[in-house]
């Protein structure tokens, strides 16, 4: 396949695609879109790896999602999966404070550190999921503190929704920042996109969620990542082809795809 775009965070293994996954894969490949399918528990991580094994241009990550941190974490199983040649990162892991108690904060921190230790052991980057809560406590600040103490690898901050200063702190640690189709229908992230360097930006869909304009109301899919590239180019005032080539180069540098 001709590799023109990459969606660095999607979930093509999810049940939303069970009825037409073969057609979806055909559309994705015909558009030259590579995809990193992201694990959220052991079964979804294994499914992402199986898809990657079977298809050119597909890659996988493995993890237990932080919001599911009360589940048993089979660390040896995740670490074994993480060694697979088509697994390009450990994640999505991190901190999700949207529904938070002190007990879940502790369990999420412990789970995050275990994922970081796996990434350190296998020498692969992190795919971070960080979501602030309703009470004002910053998951971004807490994640930065944990990364500074424990991480020996870099990675990407998926679906970034923090401040410009937080984005700059992640970039100082060597982490790229990725944006979804949300940037096609809100200007909330324009300042961050304008101010951070293009070589530290990634594009993603988080499919099947957050479908970009002009496809809102439909199920999201990886080919729509092209709309995210266009939005980044528009917001930064840079030629679309330059943005396309640089984001591909960024993914090669961080994930080795």
Is the peptide bond preceding residue 214 cis, with omega within 30 degrees of 0?
Answer: yes
Q: Give pLDDT tens digits for 142-171.
A: 999 999 999 999 999 999 999 999 999 999
The edge-to-edge listing of strands for the beta sheet with 87-96 is 5-10, 33-38, 58-62, 87-96, 126-131, 155-158, 176-179, 201-203
Long-range Cβ contacts of 52-56 (<8 Å, 24+ apart)? 52/84, 52/86, 52/87, 53/86, 55/25, 55/29, 56/1, 56/29
pLDDT tens column, 198-255? 999 999 999 999 999 999 999 999 999 999 999 999 999 999 999 999 999 999 999 9
pLDDT tens, residue by residue, 61-92: 999 999 887 678 999 999 999 999 999 999 99
Count of beta carbons in the 10 Å neighbourhood of residue 37? 27
Closest alpha carbon to 202 in 221, 187, 183, 186: 183
Query: What fold, for 5-255?
Result: TIM Barrel (3.20.20)
Parallel/antiparallel/unpaired status of strands 126-131 and 155-158: parallel
Q: What are phi and psi of 35, to 5 degrees?
A: -140, 135
């Amino acid at each position: 396949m001709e590799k023109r775009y990459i969606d660095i965070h999607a979930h093509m293994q999810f049940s939303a695609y069970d009825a037409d996954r073969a057609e979806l894969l055909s559309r994705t490949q015909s558009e030259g879109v590579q995809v990193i399918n992201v694990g959220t528990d052991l079964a979804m991580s294994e499914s992402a790896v199986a898809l990657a094994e079977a298809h050119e241009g597909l890659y996988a990550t493995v993890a237990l999602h932080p919001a599911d941190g009360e589940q048993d974490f089979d660390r040896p199983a995740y670490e074994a999966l993480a060694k697979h040649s088509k697994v390009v990162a450990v994640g999505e892991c991190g901190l999700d404070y949207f529904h938070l108690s002190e007990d879940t904060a502790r369990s999420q921190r412990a789970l995050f550190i275990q994922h970081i230790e796996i990434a350190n052991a296998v020498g692969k980057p992190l795919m971070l999921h960080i979501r602030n809560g309703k009470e004002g406590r910053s998951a971004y600040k807490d994640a930065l503190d944990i990364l500074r103490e424990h991480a020996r690898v870099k990675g990407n901050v998926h679906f970034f929704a923090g401040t410009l200063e937080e984005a700059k702190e992640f970039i100082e640690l060597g982490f790229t920042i990725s944006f979804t189709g949300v940037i096609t229908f809100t200007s909330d992230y324009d300042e961050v996109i304008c101010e951070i360097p293009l070589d530290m930006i990634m594009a993603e869909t988080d499919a099947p969620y957050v479908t970009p304009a002009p496809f809102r109301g439909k199920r999201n899919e990886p080919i729509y990542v092209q709309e995210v590239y266009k939005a980044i180019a528009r917001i930064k005032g840079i030629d679309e082809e330059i943005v396309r080539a640089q984001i591909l180069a960024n993914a090669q540098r961080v994930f080795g795809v």
